[in-house]
Structure formats: structure tokens, C-alpha cells
Amino acid sequence: MSQELSPQVGSHQLDKKQLVFWLITVAVPIAVLLIPESQTYTHAIKVFFAITIGMILIVAFETLPILIPSLLLPVCYGLAGLAPMGAIFGPWSSSMPWLFIAGMIIANVFDHSGLMKRLTYRCILLVGGSYKGMLYGIAVTGIIMGICIPNIGGRGALYAALAFGLCKALSLKPQGKAAGSVMLAAAVAATMPAYMFLTDLGIVGLNAAANFAQVSMLSWLKWFLYVGPPLLAWLFFSIWLITKLFKPEEMLESKAFFEKELAALGKWQPKEIKMAILMLVVLVLLLTTGWHKLDVGWIFLFAACICFLPGIRLAGEEDLKINYGMVIFVVATMSIGVVSNVVGAGNYLAEIFYPLVEKTGSIVFIGAIWAVAFLVNFLLTPLAGISTLVGPLAHIGELMGIDPYVVIFTFMQGMDQVLLPYENVMMLLFMSFGMLSMRDFVKYFGIRAVINLLFVLLILVPYWHLLGIFAL
């Protein structure tokens, strides 16, 4: 957790805390190395687990900047001789890191063009401009941004700043019900498109599963067909839940404010028009990937590069200031899946877990996948969790006759549920502005998580059955 969010403690206590974290980080991998080898638990698998767990603990405890373990992880795999260096660094030749970079750049361009504010104000006014209208308007904008900005980090930064700006402009009381509701709505709107559309997390999940099961890259449209319609309903339900759980301290009528702000923006500026046209072209390309076969990552990379061309000039050097450390972290998490496949770690885990679930039935197995993802969230980032566990679980599902895509979608739903802000860096970002109380955060996301499990079992599972990818 960031220092701003932590209680004010002395340096001695902080040093003691860090010491405990480092002791755990060193002790757990050593314990893994001391486990006796067997025919199935080979030396390569043991070393793989020790290195991976050690690096994951460093990231989880934040004992080093995220760039350091991200750089060390593939290097340690190579030094240990677990896989050829070409395979370890193979993810760099995929579209994934470039999609991440492109998404961050496009997010910056969106912000600087002014189109983000115009779309937000317009969407809010379209649904009434009231307190509830503001929350639903933020959700509608989230859908649009989810298509235009494929990187969850880029969207999160934009939405957190936007929501904080709305709270300040409307003079909402910090950590009050109205301010908290705005921040919660923005957090949901920023994160949910990562699961609704084929974006960075989805591509990581598909790549991870492909190492263990019969999985191919889905088109953008097919991904949306499999999960999009029910998740659209889930998004608006999540906003409705906010309106029911948190009533503003006073009647909030913000329509006049947004009308004034929209009028102040004036006519569409050339940058806004160019950006809107570019994103419409991107949308058309996304909808037609089955025809032109262009990877989603390359589509967004081309779009990001076009922003810099003469005559277009949507972006400048300032838009290249992005979190490259996060890009390297993404690629490092993808290396986990690659090396796991080479040493057979995924098959080993599958052999252990399969006897425990093979006779449980498909519905119970789906619930178990969700529960595993929800619990893993306390230890791993969404990217690390998806990269590490989706593959073995997809393999187990395949052995049980369950479509691997269903396993991927279910696991990602579980990873989307948090209880505490530290579980997701995006949630920490929203909390860092001081507008949302910890009590309201835990209350909302705790209730939402319970309902989400019911949503998966009672809505998504029948929906997948209708599509023919899940047998009841």
C-alpha cells in the first residue's frame, strides 16, 4: 500500500515490517527447494516454483520497485536453465507488450485532446444529469473508453483523475456518501471493460491457457459475444447497487453544472474530431478482425503511431511519458506461463488438483474456479494471477469436458472481485485521492463479490449453455 494510504508510523516500525516481508520472501522459496523431488515433482519444477514464488512475493509485498523483479524473473529462469532464452523472452515478439504501450499512449492523447471530458459530460446529461444520472453516465462513458483504450492502467488513471475532479467541482464532502459513490462508479467503469472486451487481461488469459489447453486467440467480436451482453447488464447492476447502498447526504442536482461545463468546452476542436474519427476506424477494425485477421494489439499500436503523424498531430513527446515498468511487468508475467509449460509445472498442478474436483460436477467446478481466483487476488495482481493459474485450470477443465474458454471467463470474474484496495493497484489509485472511505469500499465490494458469484452461476452459466460452450 502506498505511503499516503498507510498509517503514520515511525521509521523503526517500517523497517521491522520490511524485515518481516524479506524474511518471508526468502524463507518460502527455500522451503520449496527443500521439498524432496519425485518422479512428478522434478528438479526443474522445484526451481521454477522457488523463483516464481520469490518474485511474486517481492511484488506482493512491494519490497522493491516492480521493475526490478520484472527484470530479474526471466533472467533467473535463463540462468537456472529452465528454458531457452528465446522462449523466455518470446512474449516480447507477441502483440501484448505493444498493446500495453499503445493503450497508455492513447489514454494520454484522449486526455489531452479534451474528448474524454466532452464524452463524459454528454453521457451524464443523456441519462439525466442527476446524482444517479451522473453515476450511470460515468458507466456509459466507461463502455466507450473500454473500446477505445485497451489498457486498464491507462483507463484507471484517467477515470480516477476525472472522478476526483467531479467531486471537487461539485464540492462533495471527502469520504461522504456522494463523493464515495462517484469514485466507486468510476472505479467500476474503469475496470470492468477489461473483462467485457478483448483487452490486455483477456489476451494474457488466452495466451496463458494456450500453453496447456486447446485454446486459440478469439476475435474481438467473438470475445464480446461470449461475455459482453451479460457483463453489460452486470455493469449497470453494479452502478444500481451503489445507488441503493449509498444515499447522498443531501439532494444533489448536477444537471446545471454539466450543462455549463459542456457549454464551456464550446464547439468540437480539431483534435477532438480527429481523435473521434481515429477511434471510429479502430472500432470498425475491431469488429472486422475475422475478415482482415489483424491482431488487436497491432490495431491499437497503429492507431497510437498515427497520432504522431504530420497533418494529424494528435500527440506529442509528452504523450510518450508512460509507465514502462508496468509494460516489462506484463511481459514478465507472460514468461511465467511459457516457462511453466516447458518444465511441466502446469501439468504437475493439474495432476494434484484434478482428483480433488473430477467428481464434483461442472457447476461446482465453476464455483471452485471463481473461489480460487477470488482468494488468489489477496496474494497476486490480476495479471500475475491470470498468467500463473489460468493455464493449469483450463487444462483441468478440459480433462473434465469443460470448455477452456469458460474456465478463462470464470477465473477473470473471480479476479475482478476485491475486498481490500491493496489487491488491485487501480483500486489503490482511486483510494489515494481521499474521497472514498475504507468502510464504504469494503462494504460495497464485499456485497458485490457475493452477488457476482451468484451472477456467474445463475446468469453466465445458463448464457454459456445457450451459446453451446457449456453443458449443464
464 is written with which cell numbers?
Answer: 454459456
> In which element (H, E) is residue 376 found?
helix 362-376
**pLDDT of 12:** 45
Q: Residue 210: which domain range?
A: 3-467
Cα 172 to Cα 182: distance, rounded to the nearest angstrom: 10
For residue 253, report the phi and psi dihedrals to the nearest 5 degrees.
-115, 105
Task: Cell 518460502: give the residue.
Answer: 28
- Helices 200-210, 96-113: crossing angle, 10 deg rounding: 170
For residue 391, report the phi and psi dihedrals to the nearest 5 degrees.
-60, -60
Cα 185 to Cα 236: distance, rounded to the nearest angstrom: 10
Is residue 168 one of the residues assigned to a domain? yes
Is residue 419 one of the residues assigned to a domain? yes
Is residue 405 one of the residues assigned to a domain? yes
- Helices 382-399, 43-61: crossing angle, 10 deg rounding: 140
Cα 308 to Cα 449: distance, rounded to the nearest angstrom: 42
Residue 52, number of CB atoms within 10 A of its CB: 24
CA distances from 412 to 95, 232, 382, 448, 451 (A): 20, 15, 8, 15, 15
Is residue 472 one of the residues assigned to a domain? no
253, β-bridge pairs: 130
**pLDDT of 14:** 55
Q: Are 303 and 282 in contact (CB under 8 A)?
A: yes
Nearest to 23 by CA among 58, 66, 75: 58
**pLDDT of 252:** 67
Q: Is 151 exposed, middle or buried (0-12, 13-18, 19+ CB in 10 A)?
A: buried
Nearest to 82 by CA among 49, 123, 54, 122: 49
Query: What one-letter code names the amino acid at 40?
Result: T
Cα 143 to Cα 146: distance, rounded to the nearest angstrom: 5
130, β-bridge pairs: 253
CA angle 14, 17, 18 (to 5 degrees): 85
Task: Cell 489447453: give the residue.
Answer: 213
Is residue 338 one of the residues assigned to a domain? yes
DSSP string, 278-297: HHHHHHHHHHTHHHH---HH
For residue 20, report the phi and psi dihedrals to the nearest 5 degrees.
-60, -45
Is residue 367 one of the residues assigned to a domain? yes
Is residue 331 one of the residues assigned to a domain? yes
Give the number of domains in the chain: 1
- pTM for this predicted structure: 0.84
DSSP string, 233-271: HHHHHHHHHHHHH---SS--B-HHHHHHHHHHH-SPPHH
Is residue 457 one of the residues assigned to a domain? yes
298 is written with which cell numbers?
Answer: 497491432
CA distances from 247 to 119, 129, 267, 333 (A): 26, 16, 35, 41
341 is written with which cell numbers?
Answer: 509449460
Residue 406, number of CB atoms within 10 A of its CB: 25
CA angle 106, 326, 14 (to 5 degrees): 135
Nearest to 245 by CA among 177, 176, 192: 177
Cα 153 to Cα 107: distance, rounded to the nearest angstrom: 9
Query: What one-letter code names the amino acid at 240?
Result: W
Q: Is the dihedral of CA 17, 22, 23, 24 positive or negative?
A: positive
Residue 361, number of CB atoms within 10 A of its CB: 11
For residue 120, report the phi and psi dihedrals to the nearest 5 degrees.
-65, -50
CA angle 85, 86, 91 (to 5 degrees): 110
3 state SS of 130: strand
Alpha carbons within 13 angstroms on the beta-carbon side of residue 348 total: 18
> In which element (H, E) is residue 362 found?
helix 362-376
Cα 300 to Cα 297: distance, rounded to the nearest angstrom: 5
Task: Going residue by residue through the chain, which has 472 residues, state the pLDDT in tens, using 9 for 90 and above.
Answer: 333 333 344 444 557 888 999 999 999 999 999 999 988 899 999 999 999 999 888 887 888 988 899 999 999 999 999 999 999 999 898 888 898 898 889 988 888 888 888 988 899 898 887 888 889 999 999 999 888 888 887 888 888 888 898 888 888 889 999 999 999 999 999 999 999 999 888 988 998 888 888 888 899 999 999 999 999 999 999 999 999 999 887 666 678 888 888 899 999 999 999 999 999 999 999 888 878 888 888 999 999 999 999 988 899 888 888 888 888 888 888 888 889 888 988 778 878 878 877 777 889 999 999 999 999 888 777 887 888 889 889 988 888 889 999 999 999 999 999 998 878 878 888 888 889 999 999 999 999 999 999 999 999 999 999 999 988 7
